[in-house]
């Protein structure tokens, strides 16, 4: 039976990670994988996570099954973090999932179950894993304009023109902040307009919250979801703790769906529970228990916010230093946009050959298409990186 199976290739950051691992050069630099790194090049376990884990080791009474929904109190706290404590959650179906991808998968399976012909509109470009996850559910992927390569900024007119003709009932995937891979976000005024068009045209936003707190701050980065929650009868939201709690491998997120009534929320949740049951059944508890411990304790929450703020500040600092280094190395302002972008990623205006040359001649790994993880650079590597970019773009 299995001799008929064809190999399916790795893509995106997972492909870069595999190539990087196989490279024997000691001075190699990984700017592919989407994880925060400190200036020592380490993705640290946050001190606050260690503190919460210590408490769990001391006090956790059981490791019996948690149930298909996961930890309900964790999900409630996460909704509060994303939507604000005052949000009305009575019409929201929410469950804990093993990471953001599982949350997206449940959201799109749910949409497919009620609207199998719906199209899902994603930004051009978007995170490399979005389209495969959507297509796997049977839904069709379409793209709306998002990134203007010339100016390295948002093509908001193009986006709005496209959304204004998207058929009612289609879904629109939006990233709450720190857009992956471009680093270009909607301003609050632009969010207002996008949510306005979803409202008037009957489009369903699916909001992917993957970097809350990495852009401007916890509240600022949640402007879009909060606005959607106030203005729209229905939406889908996924929020992962991978990045902002730095618990990547422990896999925890939420999938949430706003419905028209508490009764609709109940039946929707039963379907989400069914999707969970036939895939992973129950999410692992550990990271949810950690996040719940932090968010339900004022002192731990304050510690977490301080550590998150330090990560955000470092990313801003690397952006500024890098933009200045590239200005000097290339004698041009063509990389100044790095300072204006937010979050861990920016898309460098490099050709495929230039990205390959960085890899082959300088042992510097970016994702195909030019996405770089800003946080992957430490202060001792910035000048070398800038010189390498200047060299591969010189001809």
Ligand X SMILES: Cc1ncc(COP(=O)(O)O)c(C=O)c1O
Select 29 or 122, whichever has its Cβ closest to ligand X: 122
Q: Under the criterion CB under 6 A, does residue 342 sit at the interface with ligand X?
A: no
* Cβ count near 213 (within 10 Å): 24
Structure tokens at 310: 């330090």
Q: Note the maximum CA span of the chain.
A: 64
Kindly state the smallest distance separating residue 23's Cβ from ligand X, in Å: 22
Q: Under the criterion CB under 6 A, does residue 247 sit at the interface with ligand X?
A: no
Distance of alpha carbon 25 from its chain centroid, rounded? 30
Q: Which residue of the set 127, 191, 235, 304 is catalytic? A: 127
Assess whether 336 carries a catalytic annotation.
Answer: no
Select 101 or 172, whichever has its Cβ closest to ligand X: 101
Select 246 or 393, whichever has its Cβ closest to ligand X: 246
Q: Under the criterion CB under 6 A, does residue 253 sit at the interface with ligand X?
A: yes
Kindly state the smallest distance separating residue 212's Cβ from ligand X, in Å: 11
- C-alpha 254/C-alpha 97 separation (Å) is 5
Q: Under the criterion CB under 6 A, does residue 99 sit at the interface with ligand X?
A: yes
| Parallel/antiparallel/unpaired status of strands 153-154 and 147-148 | antiparallel
Residues whose CB is less than 8 angstroms from the CB of residue 162 and which lie 6 or more positions away in sequence, other chains included: 121, 144, 145
Distance of alpha carbon 315 from its chain centroid, rounded? 16
Structure tokens at 373: 């993880």
Q: Which uninterrupted H or E stretch holds 1?
A: none
Which of 95-103, 148-156, 220-228, 318-326 is the region at the interface with ligand X (rule: CB under 6 A)?
Answer: 95-103
- Radius of gyration, CA atoms only, the chain: 21
Which of 44-52, 94-102, 316-324, 371-379 is the region at the interface with ligand X (rule: CB under 6 A)?
Answer: 94-102
- C-alpha 181/C-alpha 211 separation (Å) is 12
Structure tokens at 80: 């509060």
Q: Under the criterion CB under 6 A, does residue 215 sit at the interface with ligand X?
A: no
Select 198 or 239, whichever has its Cβ closest to ligand X: 239
SS3 assignment, position 121:
strand
Q: Which of residues 223-242 bind ligand X (CB under 6 A)?
A: 240, 242
Q: Under the criterion CB under 6 A, does residue 34 sit at the interface with ligand X?
A: yes
Select 344 or 386, whichever has its Cβ closest to ligand X: 344
Kindly state the smallest distance separating residue 380's Cβ from ligand X, in Å: 26
Which of 41-49, 66-74, 99-107, 326-334 is the region at the interface with ligand X (rule: CB under 6 A)?
Answer: 99-107
Select 282 or 390, whichever has its Cβ closest to ligand X: 282
Write each residue from 305 to 324 as x if it is in contact with ligand X (CB under 6 A), else as -, in one continuous string.
--------------------
Distance of alpha carbon 178 from its chain centroid, rounded? 8
Structure tokens at 147: 């990134």
Kindly state the smallest distance separating residue 208's Cβ from ligand X, in Å: 5
Kindly state the smallest distance separating residue 4's Cβ from ligand X, in Å: 30
Distance of alpha carbon 219 from its chain centroid, rounded? 16
Kindly state the smallest distance separating residue 250's Cβ from ligand X, in Å: 10
- C-alpha 101/C-alpha 164 separation (Å) is 28
φ, ψ for residue 175 (rounded to 5)? Answer: -100, 130
Assess whether 127 carries a catalytic annotation.
Answer: yes
- Residue with tokens 């060299």, as numbered in its chain: 391
What are all long-range contacts of 311-314, with beta carbons under 8 Å and residues at least 24 apart? 311/36, 311/214, 311/246, 311/375, 312/213, 312/214, 312/215, 312/217, 314/38, 314/39, 314/375
Q: Under the criterion CB under 6 A, does residue 184 sit at the interface with ligand X?
A: no
Q: Under the criterion CB under 6 A, does residue 66 sit at the interface with ligand X?
A: no
Q: Of 92, 110, 174, 210, which lies in the binding site for ligand X, with binding defined by CB under 6 A?
A: 210
Q: Under the criterion CB under 6 A, does residue 182 sit at the interface with ligand X?
A: no
Kindly state the smallest distance separating residue 107's Cβ from ligand X, in Å: 11
Q: Which residue of the set 118, 128, 176, 243 is catalytic? A: 243
Active site residues: 127, 208, 210, 243
The footprint of ligand X (CB under 6 A) covers 34, 99-101, 127, 175, 180, 208, 210, 240, 242, 248, 253
């Amino acid at each position: 039976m299995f001799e008929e199976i064809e190999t399916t290739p790795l893509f995106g950051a997972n492909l870069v990670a595999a190539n990087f691992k196989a490279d024997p050069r000691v001075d190699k630099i990984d700017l592919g994988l989407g994880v925060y790194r400190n200036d020592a090049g380490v993705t640290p376990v946050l001190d606050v996570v260690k503190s919460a884990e210590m408490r769990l080791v001391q006090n956790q009474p059981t490791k019996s099954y948690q149930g298909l929904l996961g930890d309900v109190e964790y999900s409630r706290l996460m909704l509060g973090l994303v939507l604000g404590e005052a949000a009305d959650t009575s019409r929201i179906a929410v469950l804990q999932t093993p990471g953001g991808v599982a949350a997206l998968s449940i959201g799109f399976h749910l949409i497919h179950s009620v609207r199998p012909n719906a199209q899902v509109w994603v930004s051009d470009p978007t995170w490399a894993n979005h389209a495969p996850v959507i297509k796997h559910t049977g839904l069709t992927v379409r793209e709306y304009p998002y990134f203007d390569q010339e100016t390295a900024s948002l093509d908001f007119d193009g986006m709005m023109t496209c959304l204004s003709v998207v058929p009612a009932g289609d879904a629109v995937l939006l990233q709450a902040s720190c857009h992956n891979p471009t680093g270009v976000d909607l301003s609050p005024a632009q969010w207002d307009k996008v949510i306005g068009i979803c409202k008037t045209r009957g489009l369903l936003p699916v909001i992917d919250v993957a970097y809350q707190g990495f852009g401007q701050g916890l509240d600022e980065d949640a402007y879009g979801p909060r606005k959607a929650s106030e203005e729209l009868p229905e939406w889908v939201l996924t929020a992962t703790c991978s990045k902002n709690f730095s618990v990547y491998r422990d896999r925890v997120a939420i999938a949430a769906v706003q419905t028209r009534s508490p009764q609709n929320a109940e039946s929707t949740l039963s379907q989400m529970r069914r999707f969970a049951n036939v895939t992973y059944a129950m999410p692992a508890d550990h990271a949810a228990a950690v996040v719940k411990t932090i968010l339900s304790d004022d002192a731990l929450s304050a510690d977490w916010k301080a550590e998150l703020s330090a990560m955000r500040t470092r990313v801003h600092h690397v952006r500024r230093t890098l933009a200045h280094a590239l200005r000097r190395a290339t004698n041009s302002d063509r990389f100044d946009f790095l300072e204006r972008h937010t979050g861990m990623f920016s898309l460098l205006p490099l050709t495929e050959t230039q990205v390959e040359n960085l890899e082959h001649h300088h042992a510097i790994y970016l994702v195909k298409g030019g996405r770089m993880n800003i946080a992957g650079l430490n202060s001792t590597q910035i000048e070398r990186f800038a010189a390498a970019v200047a060299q591969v773009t010189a001809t």
